[in-house]
Amino acid sequence: MEAAESDELPLDRGALSYRGPRDEESRKRDAGALVVLESKGGWVHAGYHLSTSIAAPPLITLPYAFTLLGWGCGTVMLILGAVVTFYAYNLLAVVIEEIDARGRRHLRFRDVGEDIIGPWFGRGVVYPLQAIVCLGANIGYTLLGGTSMKIIYRLYSPDGNLKLYHFIIFFAIAMILVAQLPSFHSLRYVNFLSLILTLAYSFLIAGASIYLGYSNKAPPRDYSLKGSQADKIFGAFLSLSIIATIYGNGIIPEIQGTLAPPVVGKMFKGLTVAYAVVFSTYFTVAFSGYWAFGNLATPNIFSSFLEKDGTSLVPNWLIVVPNILVILQLIAAAAVYCQPIFDLLEAKTADAEQHRFAPRNLIARLISRTSFLILTTLVAAVLPFFGDLVAAIGAVAFTPLDFIFPMLFYILVFKPPKRSIKFWGNLIIVVAYSLVAVAGIVSSIRQLVVDSTSQAPWDI
């Protein structure tokens, strides 16, 4: 049987593990899954993928998020975000395992939504939201990578003429090279390195914050909330959107799809690895950065270490080294969030009758993936407001995908009694975060408009 499948599906080479029809139309439709979402990994590999997609460089915005909430609320919301998302991701994994046990294994978030609610939901709701996550993450990571490069440049050439968009292009070139790795599974060792990089730059940021906090260059620390009452309210919801993005994933089914069957219990182990990294990094960066800068913390914590003239408040290596690590980890994280888009592109351009490394498929892959990354680079160059972009993505897409849909799917699949705590607990989370999403959308759009009208992107 395995040999027959391998002969029938040359692109797969035995990697296909979903259950479904084998007609010509299905083979063409699933060419992306055969290449991009091949199911060969173990739970450790899932842990690497989860760590890279969750504990990513946007965590450097956490001190800024605390400026909008303060110590008490900031700490509570950071803990709550960890608890809810760990629960939600494990819940979604259990739902997918249950559907698999009923004879239908799905490798994509949209297919899970389509199975549970219907085609209109999977294709018309889940997939557009996931596309926003993937596009937004790649735009945001490209922007942050360029920003980190520019920070290093300013240290050694404060009067230089290069603008942010130049560095965005430099970063995109590196992204295009990594993007040619054919599958999600092929990123496993890249993502292991990414996990190490996350731990390293987080501890270096904390070290720099503590060093500055005890030096004579330490800025005056004020932990009060700034602005009018309306600014404080909008700021609080903006902060919640940032935290939603920082804990956001949006591609749990795709990561679970990389696991070799049987998959039962493997995602829980992978999530345990990821959240060990999360707790080691998020709270370290948030607490140390906010302690050092108070309400002067900026959306990019590295910018807080620089004077307006570009001089550093700490030894240069404490900015250069973690920025280099951030740049490298951003390349890995962006590659992870490219995978659902690459799945679509592969399905549209690959020839399922030929090997994945056949010249025809290699050329199509190079053209399609490079074109996509050029598009995200152009958007990043004209929208250089990283903190606002993080908040907007969190409110619009991460919140429903990660804080709402897993609980909704659980209720619909397992049908817990309506008087049970499982039913009401999950329903309360759905309603609460639906309200947060609406408020976050308004707040993030408001802030994006304010920032975009106050400074032209090409002047940054």
pLDDT of residue 244: 83
Task: Give residue for tokens 């760990």.
Answer: 86
CATH number at residue 351: 1.20.1740
DSSP structural state of residue 102:
T
**Total structural domains in the chain?**
1
For residue 439, the Cα-to-chain-centroid distance in whole angstroms is: 21
Three-state SS at 440: helix
Please work out, in degrees rounded to the nearest 5, the angle formed at the alpha carbon of residue 453 by the alpha carbons of 447 and 459: 115
Mind spelling out the 3-state secondary structure of 346-381? Answer: HHHHCCCCCCCCCHHHHHHHHHHHHHHHHHHHHHHH
- The number of beta carbons lying within 10 Å of the beta carbon of residue 29 is 15
Amino acid letter at 412?
A: L
User: How far apart are alpha carbons 425 and 407 in whole angstroms?
Assistant: 9
41 forms beta bridges with: 259
C-alpha distances in Å from residue 269, one per residue of 44, 190, 228, 276, 414 = 8, 19, 45, 11, 22
* C-alpha to C-alpha distance for 172 and 178, rounded to whole angstroms: 10
Query: How high is the pLDDT of residue 41?
Result: 81
Phi first, then psi: give them for residue 255, nearest 5 degrees. -70, -45
Residue corresponding to tokens 């084998």:
22
Phi, psi angles (nearest 5°) of residue 358: -65, 145
Token readout for 183 is: 């599958």
* Rounded Cα gap, residues 265 and 262, in angstroms: 9
Kindly give, in sequence order, each residue whose CB lies less than 8 Å from that of residue 176, ignoring residues fewer than 6 positions away: 369, 370, 373
Closest CA to 158 of 49, 309, 52, 48: 309
Tell me how far apart the alpha carbons of residues 66 and 307 are, in angstroms, rounded to a whole number: 21
The domain of 87 spans: 2-459
Question: How confident is the prediction along the chain (460 residues), in pLDDT tens digits per residue?
Answer: 333 333 333 444 333 334 444 444 454 456 555 656 667 888 998 999 999 889 888 899 999 999 999 999 999 999 999 999 999 999 999 999 999 888 888 888 999 999 999 999 988 999 999 988 888 888 888 888 998 999 899 888 887 888 888 899 999 999 999 888 777 777 888 889 989 999 999 999 999 999 999 999 888 889 998 888 888 888 888 888 888 888 988 889 889 988 888 888 899 999 999 999 999 999 999 999 999 999 999 888 988 998 877 788 999 999 999 999 999 999 988 888 888 888 888 877 777 677 777 788 888 888 989 999 998 888 877 766 555 566 666 667 788 898 899 999 999 999 999 989 999 999 999 999 888 888 777 777 777 676 666 555 545 5
Residue from 57, 58, 32 nearest 388 by CA: 58
> What distance in Å separates the CA atoms of residue 352 and residue 6, rounded to the nearest whole number?
12
Q: 435: Cβ–Cβ under 8 A, 6 or more apart, which residues?
A: none
pTM: 0.84
β-sheet bridge partners, residue 306: 312
Question: What b/e string do you get for 167-200 counting C-beta neighbours within 10 Å, with b at 16 or more?
Answer: bbbbbbeebbeebeebbbbbbbebbbebbebbbb
User: How far from 90 is each of 8, 87, 232, CA to CA, in Å?
Assistant: 35, 5, 34
For residues 38 and 30, what is the distance between their CA atoms, to the nearest angstrom? Answer: 11
| Bridge partner list, 312 | 306
Helices 405-414 and 70-101: crossing angle, nearest 10°?
Answer: 40
What the block records as the tokens of 178 is 């990594």
Residue 394 C-alpha from the chain's centroid: 10
